[in-house]
Amino acid sequence: MPRARVRDRLSRAGRVAGVIEFVRNVRLWFAPAAVRDEGETPDYRFSLANERTFLAWLRTALALIGGGFAVDQFLPDLRWGWRVGLALALLAAGALCALRAVNHWVRCERAMRRGEDLPVSRFPALLSLVVAVVAVAMVVVVLVGWEG
């Protein structure tokens, strides 16, 4: 079998395994006691640090959602397309951040209980890019003016 085909099959198998893992994690969002069934209990300081990180992500999500509502409600003179686009970008980033927070909490808690490395994520980079794009758009709006 050609190498490209083998690589494609392995890639598909990896994606399927990732989806299965994600679905399992989603179930654990609503049954956190089930996380305790895995591995050994880590030092409580690590679990509490994981929870503080979760809460920090939720505060970030709330700030993004508040920013989205603020753009929509307090900038009525801004062109409709700009206002709605910026508001929706902030609201979507906030919703994704909230969902990612709980998923990351579960993944980290499971990894600590199993004695594995903590999971890595591209989400902080993606969130940073979204916030940066919205910030640049707001700078353009301020420099060009409300009526653009």
Residue pLDDT, tens place only, 117-140? 999 888 889 889 988 998 898 888
Over the stretch 42-101, which tens digit does the pLDDT of each residue have? 999 999 999 999 999 999 999 999 999 999 998 888 888 888 998 999 999 999 999 999
Residue type, 11: S
- How much is the pLDDT for 148? 47
Residue type, 66: G
C-alpha to C-alpha distance for 95 and 77, rounded to whole angstroms: 26
**Residue 147 has what DSSP assignment?**
-
Q: How confident is the model at residue 6 (pLDDT cuts 50, 70, 90)?
A: low
Question: Distance between alpha carbon 122 and the CA centroid of its chain, in Å?
Answer: 9
Model pTM score: 0.77
